[in-house]
Structure 1
Amino acid sequence: MELGLKGMKAAVTGGSRGIGKAIAMHLAQEGCDVSICARGEEGIAATRAEIEAEGVRSFGTALQGRDGDAVRGWMRETCDVFGGLDLLVCSLSGGGGTNEEGYWRRSFEIDVMSATRAVDEAYPHLKKSGKGSILVISSMAAAETFVSPMAYNAMKASLVTWSKQLAEQYAPKGIRVNCLEPGPTMFPGSNWEMIKVARSRTYAGVLRQQPTRRMGEVDEIAKSAVFLASPAASWVTGATLRVDGGYTKGVQF
């Protein structure tokens, strides 16, 4: 299938590792110029080298997701360097954690506000594109009671609602907005890698509830994400796609 991505300009928050990196790499392989932001300078540099090895341009900035000025600045620089923007993928996340108030504030700033700030800066460029597309990475934890009460679950649920409302508002402007809910996904340095060792019973319990009896892989998530973000999905907006290997039990009507 031709996705229609060649020559397009894309930006991915949280694009130096895990699902975000896999999405960035698949976009590059489809011919997109790709900009990324994330915390670590080494990860940014390594991922940029991999992107450029695909024969496309890259840009990247190391930043803290809670730093609103930094997120906005990266987005502005991306659009300046690339001369515009066609696709924005919001995948930055603070990950799991405790139920303490400080963590709720941190999760809100990283998971929710980094996305809203990036979208605000990208909007005029996506509108000008004519094929503008925003993909928000949520989690199946937004839809399923999962492990324990956490800020992470609530923040991911808020992203689903926000992306749907944004889709309604932006559709007349020629911008599509969709949401992706990955299930439990394993990659080096992931929370699941830590849980497998430190909380082996929890890990085993999750696998027992998983019909496929395994964790997802980042490429499995990224391929669905790239299709949803691409012009090949031109009449899909306001949708939430769950890619979880059947983990969630509710029927999606």
Structure 2
Amino acid sequence: MDLRLKGLKAAVTGGTRGIGNAIVHVLAEEGCALATCGRAPERIESLRRQMDAAGVRFHGETVQGRDGEAMRNWTRNSVEALGGLDIFVASLSAGGGTDEERYWYRNFEIDLMSAVRGVEEALPALRQSKCPSILILATMAASETFVAPMAYNAIKAALVTWSKQLSQQLAPEGIRVNCLSPGPTMFKGSNWEMIRVARSRIYDNAVRQQPTRRMGTAEEIARSAVFLASPAASWCNGSHLLVDGGFSKRVPF
């Protein structure tokens, strides 16, 4: 299938590691020009070298997700560097944590508000695109009870609702908005990698609940994400796609 991505311009928040990084690479393979941001300068530079070697037009900046003005500046700079924007992917996340109050602030600022701020700044450029698309990454844990009460789960649920409402508002302008929720996913440096070592019972229980008895990979999530964001998914708007290998047990009538 031709995803019709060649020549398009995409910005991905949190694209230096994990699922966001996998999305960047799949978009690059499909012929997109890319912009991304992350916390670690060395990861940005490593990604820049990879994109340069592949002949991909690339813009990267070091950004702290809680810094609202920095996120807005990166979005504006990305539009300028790429000469426009067709796709905006919000994948930046603080990850999970206990139910301590500090995690609520962290997840609110990084998971929710970085997406809100990025989308707000991207909209003028997206309105000039012939195939504009916004993709919000949430989590399977926003859709059903999972492990324990956590800010991460609840804040991601807010993103699901917001993306649906945004899709209705922007549809008359031709801008598609969709949401994708990964299930338990293993990659280097992921929360699950740490849980496997520090809380092996939680990890083992999660694997047992997975019909395939394994966790997903970042690449598996990224392929679904890129399809949903691409012009090939032109009739998908306001969708919430669970990509969890059958982990979730609810029946979404």
Give the equivalent residue in structure 2 for 1:243: 243
SS class of match (1:179) = strand
Q: Does residue 31 of structure 2 align to residue 38 of structure 1?
A: no
Write the distance in 2 (CA, Å) between the matches of 1:74 and 1:197: 35
Give the equivalent residue in structure 1 for 2:181: 181
TM-score (norm 2): 0.99
TM-score (norm 1): 0.99
**Greater displacement, 48-57 / 105-114:** 48-57
Q: Does residue 95 of structure 2 align to residue 82 of structure 1?
A: no
Give the equivalent residue in structure 1 for 2:66: 66
CA contact (8 A) 1:130 1:175 kept: no
Q: Does residue 195 of structure 2 align to residue 195 of structure 1?
A: yes
Give the equivalent residue in structure 2 for 1:106: 106
Gaps of 5+ in 1: none
Gaps of 5+ in 2: none
Give the equivalent residue in structure 2 for 1:137: 137
- In the TM superposition, structure 1's runs of 4+ consecutive aligned residues that sit over 6 Å from their partners are none
Identity of aligned residues (%): 64
Deviation at 1:235, TM superposition (A): 1.0
Give the equivalent residue in structure 2 for 1:161: 161
Deviation at 1:81, TM superposition (A): 0.9
Q: Which amino acid aligns with 1:121?
A: E
**Greater displacement, 149-158 / 39-48:** 39-48
Q: Which amino acid aligns with 1:211?
A: P
CA contact (8 A) 1:25 1:50 kept: no
Q: Which amino acid aligns with 1:100?
A: E
Q: Which amino acid aligns with 2:160?
A: V
Write the distance in 2 (CA, Å) between the matches of 1:101 and 1:2: 46
Give the equivalent residue in structure 2 for 1:17: 17
SS class of match (1:129) = coil
Deviation at 1:55, TM superposition (A): 1.9
SS class of match (2:98) = coil
Deviation at 1:51, TM superposition (A): 2.4
SS class of match (1:242) = strand
Q: Which amino acid aligns with 1:129?
A: S
SS class of match (1:196) = helix
Deviation at 1:212, TM superposition (A): 0.9
Q: Which amino acid aligns with 1:248?
A: S
Report the count of equivalent residues: 253
Q: Which amino acid aligns with 1:56?
A: V
Write the distance in 1 (CA, Å) between the matches of 2:113 and 2:33: 25
SS class of match (1:72) = helix
Across the aligned residues of Structure 1 and Structure 2, the Cα RMSD in angstroms comes to 0.7
